Structure 1
Amino acid sequence: MLGRLASRFGMPAVVGELSAGLLLGPTLLDHVAPGLAAWLMPKQADQFHLLDAVGQIGVLLLVGVTGIEVDFLLLRRRATTVLRVATAGLLLPLGLGVATGLLLPASLIPQGADRVVFALFLGVAMCLSAMPVIAKTLTDMRLLHRNIGQLILVTGMVDDAFGWLMLSIVAAMAATALHAATIVVSVLTVLAIVLAAATVGRPTVRLALRLAERTGGSTGVVTVAVTVMVACGAVTQALGMEAIFGAFVGGVLVGSSGGVPPATLVPLKTIVLAFFAPLFFATAGLRVDLTALGRPVVLLAGLVVLTVAVVGKFAGAFLGGLTSRLSRWEALALGAGMNARGVVEIVIAMVGLRLGVLGTETYTVVVMVAIITSLMAPPILRFAMRRVEYTAEESLRADQSDASLAHRAGFG
């Protein structure tokens, strides 16, 4: 309901879906009607684990479905642009985030936490984008077929892959002393995943999809696609990386294999966007408590970190776009899309809280940044994209998307 309401006000449905969790969780309902909140959302860990499990499936499938839409022909032509935007969008917010962490008051750093590790963790949080939020926002705004939408998607994934790598290193620093072997193993893991996907994964997935289409039709194809996405997520999780990264790789394998017509995957996209994705965003909101921002020192620190996060990511992506000869409106759209941190940053904050790198106050600050930057993205994207002309390639992509929608109507 809140997703539809957000759409009526010209915003992507993800804004309303995330707000559902905020309204029903500790941010509002726990304080306004604690008895009702305890009845509606019991605090037993096992019940929350059930919600988290469904939400995890939702985010894996959402990112996987997004990976299916990646246009590799565009990427080959714009590889230099992707590299420039991703590099600028990483280094500037990372550096600003580390500097901010070194300058924040000591009262905001948990007792026993090392300030350098805290600063590095904050820098990693600032340089990440939110693939699930970006994917849902681009889909809701019908921008996934636009060239800028594709660039946002892939540069965001490059930044996230580097961010998860940095997170694993910082987490190792928080737990034990940092060794060169930790960095080497993490880098080699990423390279091994990409290499295995390109050499072994792609032909294997192509064969599996073709066999599934011949024997089971659309149902068989959807089954194989879901299995590939979840299995890739499980593999990267087992290797110490984030499952979201693996799910995206799995989606790319399905989409680039050429094994089946895109229309056969429409039922999967329908159920993911209509059910799993909204449930995931709402569940993420249930973990957030924004009432800690009532303390002046926390609020001031939050405003500083928010400013640094927005300026760093916007400026990095914007400058990367301009140096790649994009128009200023295209560069502005890149900055707006990559600035959305969303629930990925909330996940990062939860990791920091568990490791003792973040305290309750700094956890709240990072969550606030995640929510506000996600709310900023849609209106700025809409404003900028109105001034970017359609290309023939985008029109063809849009026609293919409309054909898929027509097939979905026939499937229903």
Structure 2
Amino acid sequence: MAESKRKYGLRALGVYGLLVVIPVLTSIVLLTREDKGAGVAAKSAAATGHPVAQLLLAIAVVIAACKAAGWVMRRIGQPAVVGEIAAGIVLGPSVLGAVWPAGASALLPAAIMPQLNVLAQVGIVLFVFLTGLELNTRLIRGRGHLALVVSHVSIAVPFVLGVLLAVFAYAKFAPQGVGSLAFALFIGVSMSITALPVLVRILKDTGLFHSRIGVVALTCAVVDDVTAWSLLALVVALVTASSLLGVLLTLGLAAAFAGLLYYVVRPLMAKFFTRTSEPVLRRLAPLALVGVLLCAMATEWIGVHAMFGAFMFGLVFPRGNVVEKWLHQNASGLTTALMLPLFFAYSGLRTNIGLLGDPALWLWCVAILVVAVVGKLASATVAARSVGETFCRALQIGVLMNCRGLTELIVLNVGLDLGVLSPEMFTMLVLMALISTAMTTPMAVYLDKRAGRREAARGTRVQQFDEELPKAA
């Protein structure tokens, strides 16, 4: 038996050497005889041509920087999103690119920016879908007039003020070849924005997401952003010499898509979820993500924005089932922790504060900030007060509507890509977006506490009056 095992072992060793070792050695000899210059070039290409490795490194750097900055901001009472936007600015040409250019190009090469942008867009689509899924629209019943009035007033007033500011800024900041109408309209749109995704994160961080004021602000922001994107489509049409008929077609298709979701898709999904057993729904749960991506694709193709398709699909999606639970458990964590910070950091990477070296430019920056904040905050406050809100609650709504965040940055990037905004104007508007967003949390929390104390005191006085009334009688 031992002799037989030894015999087969030697035979296997011989076969291995003949069919593995010898072919490998032969291949090495043949490859090393190739031209050495070609080998050096291949090594050089291999050293610098690892796009996947570069992308993974860039994602790691962005995530680490955003989480660190977010932690710092939370420690000082700001939402993490402010730190994430600031982290993008620090990683860009404003700080890292100015202090350590070689390191900036190695960590975040320009070649991987498109890939980062794609991942960021997917992240924001999923996040906005989950936002629509969580939004309790029942809290807004009886307040629809408030949402409509506040949203439209908070667009019209800052839009007009932005146009007036653009009249004075056109000669100094408009790029060559850009008409005054397109430039003025774009500045007006930039002043009118309220950031839905950032507002959601602020409301969640402050515990206001499920409150009545939080839902009112979110509803106003939805109407606000839909209107703002429609205005943006008009500006893009003017810049690209498209016809106004194309803009009207875009708006019509968007309205038709929303109607299709609400009147056709929503009842069909409700009926399907009611008639299907939980085990089957659990197996089909990942298909909900397919629906999200298809709706986002539809509105992106229409020309509104991908996030609105995702948000509307979240609004009509059936609640209280295993699919909703699966989505929260599997899609929420990865989106918030990994993909969303890329979206918040992307615009910061394109911002160069070094362009504002002239003191006169900083005066312009202050003027833009004042016009933006006064126009948005004051107009929303007056509108909310006019439809019955107390002054504190109206001012709180105005503060929340003044949050611009990433929706503003999306618009600004469109303007920079189209050549409507100069790099200087782009940078000033980015700083305006960052400062107005940073103002939101502390002011909203303070006003909420103050309004709560007043409402509690008013309730106590009413209760005492009700108790004393029978005694007096």
**Match of 1:364, as an amino acid?**
T
Provide structure 1 residue ranges, at least 5 long, that are not aligned to the other structure: 392-412
Matched residue SS, 2:210? coil
> Which residue matches 1:21?
88
> Which residue matches 1:311?
374
> Which residue matches 2:407?
344
Residue of structure 2 aligned with 1:246, choices 295, 303, 309: 309
Identity %: 33
> Which residue matches 2:448?
385
Please tell me whether the aligned partners of residues 341 and 373 of structure 1 are also in contact (alpha carbons under 8 angstroms).
yes
Matched, 1:137 2:202: yes
Residue of structure 2 aligned with 1:65, choices 130, 144, 158: 130
Structure 1 residue 227: Cα displacement: 2.3
Residue of structure 2 aligned with 1:193, choices 257, 281, 289: 257
Please tell me whether the aligned partners of residues 125 and 296 of structure 2 are also in contact (alpha carbons under 8 angstroms).
yes
CA spacing shift, 1:163–1:333, aligned 2, 3 Å: same
Q: 1:165, 1:309 → 2: CA distance?
A: 20
Q: Provide the TM-score with structure 2 as the length reference.
A: 0.77
Q: 1:174, 1:206 → 2: CA distance?
A: 43
Q: Over aligned residues, Cα RMSD in angstroms? A: 2.2
> Which residue matches 1:114?
179
Q: 1:158, 1:126 → 2: CA distance?
A: 15
Matched, 1:184 2:248: yes
Matched, 1:54 2:119: yes
Q: 2:190, 2:169 → 1: CA distance?
A: 15
CA spacing shift, 1:384–1:351, aligned 2, 3 Å: same
Please tell me whether the aligned partners of residues 403 and 437 of structure 2 are also in contact (alpha carbons under 8 angstroms).
yes
Q: 2:388, 2:287 → 1: CA distance?
A: 40
Please tell me whether the aligned partners of residues 203 and 257 of structure 1 are also in contact (alpha carbons under 8 angstroms).
no
Q: 1:40, 1:224 → 2: CA distance?
A: 36
Q: 1:261, 1:228 → 2: CA distance?
A: 13
Q: 2:361, 2:208 → 1: CA distance?
A: 36
Residue of structure 2 aligned with 1:333, choices 387, 396, 420: 396
**Match of 2:397, as an amino acid?**
L
Q: What per-residue deviation string (whole Å, max 9, x for no partner) do you get for residues 320-348 of structure 1?
A: 11012112221122111111111221111
CA spacing shift, 1:385–1:34, aligned 2, 3 Å: same
Residue of structure 1 aligned with 2:160, choices 77, 82, 95: 95
Residue of structure 2 aligned with 1:206, choices 270, 282, 286: 270
**Match of 1:233, as an amino acid?**
A
CA spacing shift, 1:177–1:186, aligned 2, 3 Å: closer
**Match of 1:114, as an amino acid?**
G
Please tell me whether the aligned partners of residues 146 and 384 of structure 2 are also in contact (alpha carbons under 8 angstroms).
yes
Write the mapping of 1:152-163 to structure 2, written as runs, cut at 5 A. Answer: 152-163=217-228
Q: Provide the TM-score with structure 1 as the length reference.
A: 0.88
Larger Rg computed on CA atoms: 2
Q: Which moved more, 1:162-171 or 1:277-286?
A: 277-286
Q: 1:12, 1:157 → 2: CA distance?
A: 21
Please tell me whether the aligned partners of residues 62 and 272 of structure 1 are also in contact (alpha carbons under 8 angstroms).
yes
Please tell me whether the aligned partners of residues 212 and 220 of structure 1 are also in contact (alpha carbons under 8 angstroms).
no
Please tell me whether the aligned partners of residues 67 and 249 of structure 1 are also in contact (alpha carbons under 8 angstroms).
yes
Provide structure 2 residue ranges, at least 5 long, that are not aligned to the other structure: 1-67, 456-473
CA spacing shift, 1:213–1:174, aligned 2, 3 Å: farther
Please tell me whether the aligned partners of residues 144 and 150 of structure 1 are also in contact (alpha carbons under 8 angstroms).
yes
**Match of 1:78, as an amino acid?**
R
Please tell me whether the aligned partners of residues 102 and 116 of structure 1 are also in contact (alpha carbons under 8 angstroms).
no
Q: What per-residue deviation string (whole Å, max 9, x for no partner) do you get for residues 95-121 of structure 1?
A: 111111112250211111111111111
Please tell me whether the aligned partners of residues 85 and 321 of structure 1 are also in contact (alpha carbons under 8 angstroms).
yes
Structure 1 residue 245: Cα displacement: 1.4
Structure 1 residue 42: Cα displacement: 1.4
> Which residue matches 1:266?
328
Q: 1:271, 1:332 → 2: CA distance?
A: 35
Q: What per-residue deviation string (whole Å, max 9, x for no partner) do you get for residues 227-270 of structure 1?
A: 2222211100111111121111121122x556558544431333
Structure 1 stretches (4+) deviating beyond 6 angstroms? none
Number of aligned positions between the proteins: 386
